[in-house]
Amino acid sequence: MNASRIGALVREIRRSAGLTQTELAAKAGTTQAAISKIETGRVLPGLEVLERIARAVGRPVTITLGAPERRPSRSELQARVRAVLGDYEFDPWERDPTRAEAESLRADGLTRGPRRR
């Protein structure tokens, strides 16, 4: 379990409790900025802070350590992207990349296609 996963858990329980970051911070005795840093994974909260957050939302916070993480498959990731982007196709060559970017694109097998205008 890393800081970003704990942050996502804190965000999920805050939202399910119907609280804003500011409201949770006030109930947990901290600042909105601290809650924001936790939720975005920039700060790993200590057990004392997690305890205060649990009391503030009125429910226990369960964190499982050592459980194997299931990573999404390539097809699952592609399905997520397709759900967000729909039929939009990004053309990295469209914005005239720098020489270094162009070399990186070529190295990844992304060659310049026909210009669309």
pTM for this predicted structure: 0.60
Q: Is residue 63 part of a domain?
A: no
**117 within some domain:** no
Output the pLDDT for position 114: 53
Number of domains in the chain: 2
For residue 53, what are the domain limits?
Answer: 3-57
Same domain assignment for residues 81 and 52:
no
- Taking the C-alpha atoms of residue 74 and residue 25, their distance in angstroms, rounded to an integer, is 38
Q: Are residues 48 and 80 in the same domain?
A: no
Mention every residue, 6+ apart, whose C-beta is less than 8 A from residue 28: 35, 49, 52, 53, 55, 56
- What is the CATH classification number for the domain harbouring 25? 1.10.260.40
Is 113 contained in some domain?
A: no
Mean pLDDT, consecutive 10-residue segments, the chain of 117 residues? 90 96 97 97 95 96 83 89 86 88 88 58
| Residue 91: DSSP 8-state | -
